[in-house]
Amino acid sequence: MDASQRLERRGLRLGIAGNLIGAVSGIAMYLHSNSDALLLDGLYTAILAGSGLVALQVSRASLAPRSRAYPFGASGQEPLYSLFQALVMLGMVGYAAITASGKVITSLGGGVVTAVQTSGLAWYFSAMVLLNGLLWWQYRSSWRRSGRQSALLEASARSALFDAAVSVGTGVGLLGAPQLLATPLAAVAPITDALIVLVLSALFLPGPLRALRQAVAESSGVGVEAELLERCRRILAERFGQSDCALVELAMIKLGRTYTVVAYVNPAQPRTGAELDQLRLRLETWMRELVPGPALCEVIATAAHPYRPGSADERPARWPRQRSEQ
């Protein structure tokens, strides 16, 4: 395990510990205050902590060398992890939004909504903002020191910063609700908690939807973004040409942090297996300069284009769009 991998695993472990503290505190304060917004925030943080435990195993598996069990590596576990996390998040957000909507409807119909107890909330929100700020700094620092290649650390840093902003907004809303009783907005005060839950649900929703779309695209084998592919093809065609090989086609997919790259080349002269191995090693070196993550590379000597019309692997008319990680 190299230094960047150790930094990633250390960062994830510290993040799990911090998220566990935040989750337990949030759920405990929900029991004290009867605030559904705190329950949603606590459950969100609990999912981050649980996902972190899974992420540790995924990180270890995805960095393992290729084997007969996983001929192309185990990097495919990363999009599966993202898919699982996104589905859990969507289920939690959907349930919270439905429950909050029911409370708003009940209040508008003249029903009674349980009041939120605000004692102690100021200290809680201050502690949560500080905790998430420290988590963001720790994730960001580990991500930078590990070469800015860990998607897990980068995503965790964004989540910690987002959670800190959520704590600020929720705290301002809940602590400011009693002040509405002396204003024309007094009717809104009893449902402030439910309205905050609806706002949080709307804020939480885009992240899991984006992760779900990305995970499905990667799991289905969609090629990398057209711009990245064309840039790599142009540079590699020149470098293979310096080795008396014409680049016939370049195939690239991305699973998690790992790129799988297959270069189809047409050598000008017959090449031995050892010489093709040297070309593959050069390709691995070149790809480290071109993509922001590890790359599994293969070189295939061929005179025929793999995507010729009529072949089983014909290229689609349009490249599918995929969000670049750069």
Position 309 in a domain = no
Exposed/middle/buried for 294, CB within 10 Å: 0-12, 13-18, 19+?
middle
Boundary residue ending a domain (193, 219, 245) = 219
3-state secondary structure (DSSP) of residue 155: helix
Q: What is the pLDDT of residues 46-68, one digit of tens each?
A: 888 888 788 777 767 766 777 77
Q: Is there a single domain that holds both residue 184 and residue 267?
A: no
Query: Residue 325: what pLDDT?
Result: 41
Position 319 in a domain = no
Q: What is the pLDDT of residues 6-23, one digit of tens each?
A: 887 888 888 889 989 999
Contact 250, 272 (CB under 8 A): no
Position 21 in a domain = yes
Q: Is there a single domain that holds both residue 104 and residue 152?
A: yes
Position 314 in a domain = no
Q: Which two tokens stand for residue 157?
A: 């840093």
H or E segment and range at residue 261 = strand 258-267
Query: Residue 207: what pLDDT?
Result: 84
CB atoms inside a 10 Å sphere around CB 273: 8
Query: Residue 315: what pLDDT?
Result: 44
Q: Is there a single domain that holds both residue 245 and residue 182?
A: no
Contact 322, 225 (CB under 8 A): yes
Q: Is there a single domain that holds both residue 194 and residue 284?
A: no
Torsion of CA 134, 138, 140, 143, to 10 degrees: -170
Helix axes 77-108, 206-219, angle to 10 degrees: 150
Q: Is there a single domain that holds both residue 36 and residue 84?
A: yes
N- to C-terminal Cα distance for the chain? Answer: 25
> Which domain CATH number covers 148?
1.20.1510.10
Query: Residue 161: what pLDDT?
Result: 87
Q: Is there a single domain that holds both residue 13 and residue 91?
A: yes
Q: Is there a single domain that holds both residue 83 and residue 210?
A: yes
Q: Is there a single domain that holds both residue 196 and residue 73?
A: yes
Boundary residue ending a domain (187, 204, 219) = 219
Position 307 in a domain = no
What is d(CA 15, CA 115) in angstroms, rounded to the nearest whole number?
Answer: 33
Which residues neighbour 303 within 8 Å (Cβ) at sequence distance 6 or greater? 248, 266
Q: What is the radius of gyration, based on Cα positions, of the chain?
A: 25
In the Cβ-directed half-sphere of 1, how many Cα atoms lie within 13 Å? 12
pTM of this structure? 0.70
Q: Is there a single domain that holds both residue 74 and residue 155?
A: yes
Query: Residue 225: what pLDDT?
Result: 85
Q: Is there a single domain that holds both residue 215 and residue 230?
A: no
Which residues of the chain, if any, have pLDDT below 70? 1-2, 59, 62-63, 71-74, 149, 151, 308-326
Boundary residue ending a domain (188, 219, 250) = 219
State the total domains in the chain.
Answer: 2
What is d(CA 159, CA 209) in angstroms, rounded to the nearest whole number?
Answer: 14
H or E segment and range at residue 215 = helix 206-219
DSSP 40-65: HHHHHHHHHHHHHHHHHHHHHHHTSP
Position 312 in a domain = no
Contact 200, 37 (CB under 8 A): yes
User: What range does the domain containing 215 cover?
Assistant: 3-219
Q: Is there a single domain that holds both residue 10 and residue 32?
A: yes
Q: Characterize the bridge pairing of strands 258-267 and 295-301.
A: parallel
Query: Residue 323: what pLDDT?
Result: 46
Position 54 in a domain = yes
What is d(CA 239, CA 171) in angstroms, rounded to the nearest whole number?
Answer: 57
What is d(CA 12, CA 233) in angstroms, rounded to the nearest whole number?
Answer: 35
> Which domain CATH number covers 247?
3.30.70
Q: Is there a single domain that holds both residue 172 and residue 49?
A: yes
Position 78 in a domain = yes
